[in-house]
């Protein structure tokens, strides 16, 4: 039995409307990754994290809590939970068990990306506490009214800071800004580039050739929505890394199950387990490009293989 | 006897997002779906186009468990925008069934 769809979606939508994010995130959790990197505030071009890497530990903690209710009569109380959540941030308490290790690891992904962009000579700033979540999850669930209001709020922040170009770090934020915002925000004229597109254009010098083989799990959104398949592979190839052949890859990649984790945890786990099986047949060193894919595949793999964000591999090769 | 909803049919006529008319039920989408559903999307889209709202409501779990991964769309010979159609149905259900704003 799935979790009650209406109330769960209602809570996410209410959180976005009332609190500006689908799940709560403190200022230090949102911006802590940038500490010590001396990234200027704002500017013509900004690194826009969309808070995805920072939110994933809280989303994972919440999904694990909710999975316990999947076949329980307690799930019937979610309607009441939605009413209470408008006044008391219940999702904050449910997300308190977020893993510290995952937070540190995801912060490192953002640091890797910022440091590689700097090394490539890209001039960029960051919006720090002004940065908002993109609203991708709410859009995917069809809550267009909430999404529309939020998208305008995000673009206003860009405009107030004179931002003309954003560099994104994950597939969902990239696609929502590039493909969906122009439909919802009048005169949307902000250039959206993904960090791998930027780095692939810059011919970043290799510091440490890697001479290894690995398996890529392509994100559905990068591969099929954005057609972004060549860039990660060229960055790996330049670093001496061989990508092992996999039937379901590139435009034919197989989903990790993550998009339905919050409503259908058991089904999400089944899909992730199938995918892990396909990946492991080719090798046990696997890279992902999306924080949702990473967390979902890792849970299904249960330590049986090494799954890491592709930026960690890039950092070993391109940063000294 | 199935009840036809004029509201669902009218909403679809207004919509530029829902485009399942080109579907000719070849089943490629069903064969490729990582969830292995028998119903989504071809049978569901036929029910939608016929305005069979009660049947569509029976498929709410399938509609919300679609991954929007576009594996089906990648190989659809009729180039139906399957994921966007599913998202459109979510929008309809959010408004008309769950009364979410």
For residue B49, tell me if it sits in a domain: yes
Q: Where are the alpha helices (DSSP H) in chain A?
A: 5-19, 27-31, 52-67, 78-87, 90-94, 100-119, 136-140, 144-160, 171-175, 181-184, 195-202, 220, 230-238, 265-280, 291-301, 310-318
Compare CB distances from A260 to B65, B99, B100 and report the shortest one's residue: B65
**Distance from CA of residue A79 to its chain's centroid?**
28
The verdict on pTM exceeding 0.90 is yes
Altogether, the residues listed in chain B come to a count of 101
Structural domains in chain A, CATH included, are 5-199 (no CATH), 206-318 (3.40.50)
CB-CB neighbors (< 8 A) of A224 in chain B: 69-71, 73-74
- Which region, left, alpha or beta, applies to residue A129 given φ > 0 means left and ψ of -120 to 50 means alpha? alpha
CB-CB neighbors (< 8 A) of B93 in chain A: 142
Domain count, chain B: 1
How many C-beta atoms surround the C-beta of residue A15 within 10 A?
A: 23
> DSSP per residue over A220-245, as a string?
HIIIIIS---HHHHHHHHHTTEEEPP
Question: pLDDT 10s digit of each residue in chain A, 320 long?
Answer: 566 888 888 888 888 888 777 777 888 899 999 999 999 999 999 999 999 999 998 888 877 776 666 666 656 656 666 665 666 665 666 656 778 999 999 999 999 999 999 999 999 999 999 999 999 999 999 999 999 999 999 999 999 999 999 999 999 999 999 999 999 999 999 999 999 999 999 989 999 999 999 999 999 999 999 999 999 999 999 999 999 999 999 999 999 999 998 889 899 999 999 999 999 999 999 999 999 999 999 999 999 999 999 999 999 999 97
Contact A225, A136 (CB under 8 A): no
Query: Which H/E stretch holds residue B71?
Result: helix B71-75
The encoded tokens of residue A207 equal 């510091």
Altogether, the residues listed in chain A come to a count of 320
Q: Which residues of B touch A (CB under 8 A)?
A: 34-35, 60-61, 64-71, 73-74, 87-94, 97-101
B69–A141 CB contact, under 8 Å:
no
State the residue range of the domain holding B43: 6-12+19-96
**Would the ipTM clear 0.90, i.e. be above it?**
yes
Chain A nearest-CA distance from B90, in A, is 5
């Amino acid at each position: 039995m799935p979790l009650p769809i209406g109330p769960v979606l209602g809570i996410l939508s209410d959180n976005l409307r009332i609190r500006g994010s689908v799940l709560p995130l403190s200022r230090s959790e949102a911006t802590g990754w940038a500490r010590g990197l001396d990234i200027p505030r704002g500017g013509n071009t900004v690194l826009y994290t969309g808070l995805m890497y920072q939110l994933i530990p809280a989303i994972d903690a919440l999904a694990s809590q909710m999975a316990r209710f999947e076949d329980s009569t307690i799930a019937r109380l979610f309607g009441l939970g939605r009413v209470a959540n408008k006044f008391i941030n219940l999702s904050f308490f449910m997300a308190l068990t977020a893993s510290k290790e995952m937070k540190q690891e995801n912060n490192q992904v953002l640091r890797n990306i910022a440091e590689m962009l700097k090394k490539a000579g890209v001039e960029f700033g960051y919006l720090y506490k002004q940065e908002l979540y993109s609203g991708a999850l709410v859009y995917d669930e069809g809550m267009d009214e909430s999404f529309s209001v939020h998208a305008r709020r995000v673009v206003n922040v860009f405009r107030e800071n004179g931002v003309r170009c954003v560099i994104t770090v994950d597939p969902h934020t990239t696609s929502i800004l590039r493909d969906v915002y122009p439909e919802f925000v009048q005169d949307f004229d902000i250039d959206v580039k993904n960090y791998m597109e930027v780095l692939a254009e810059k011919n970043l010098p290799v510091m440490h050739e890697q001479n290894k083989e690995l398996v890529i799990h392509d994100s559905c959104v990068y591969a099929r929505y954005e057609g972004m398949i060549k860039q990660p592979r060229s960055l790996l190839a330049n670093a001496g890394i061989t990508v092992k052949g996999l039937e379901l890859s590139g435009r034919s990649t197989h989903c990790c199950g993550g998009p339905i984790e919050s409503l259908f945890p058991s089904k999400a786990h089944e899909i992730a387990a199938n995918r892990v099986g396909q990946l492991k047949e080719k090798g046990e060193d696997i890279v992902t490009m999306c924080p949702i894919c990473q967390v979902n595949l890792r849970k299904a793999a249960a330590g049986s293989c090494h799954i890491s964000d592709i930026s960690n591999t890039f950092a070993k090769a391109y940063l000294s | 006897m199935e009840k036809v909803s004029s509201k669902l049919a009218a909403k679809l006529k207004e919509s530029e997002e829902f485009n399942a008319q080109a579907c000719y039920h070849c089943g490629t989408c069903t064969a490729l779906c990582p969830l292995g559903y028998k119903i989504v999307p071809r049978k569901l889209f036929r029910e939608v186009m016929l305005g069979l709202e009660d049947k569509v409501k029976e498929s709410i779990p399938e509609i919300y468990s679609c991954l929007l991964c576009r594996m089906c769309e990648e190989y659809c010979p009729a180039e139906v925008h399957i994921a966007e159609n599913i998202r459109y149905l979510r929008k309809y259900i959010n408004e008309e069934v769950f009364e979410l704003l």
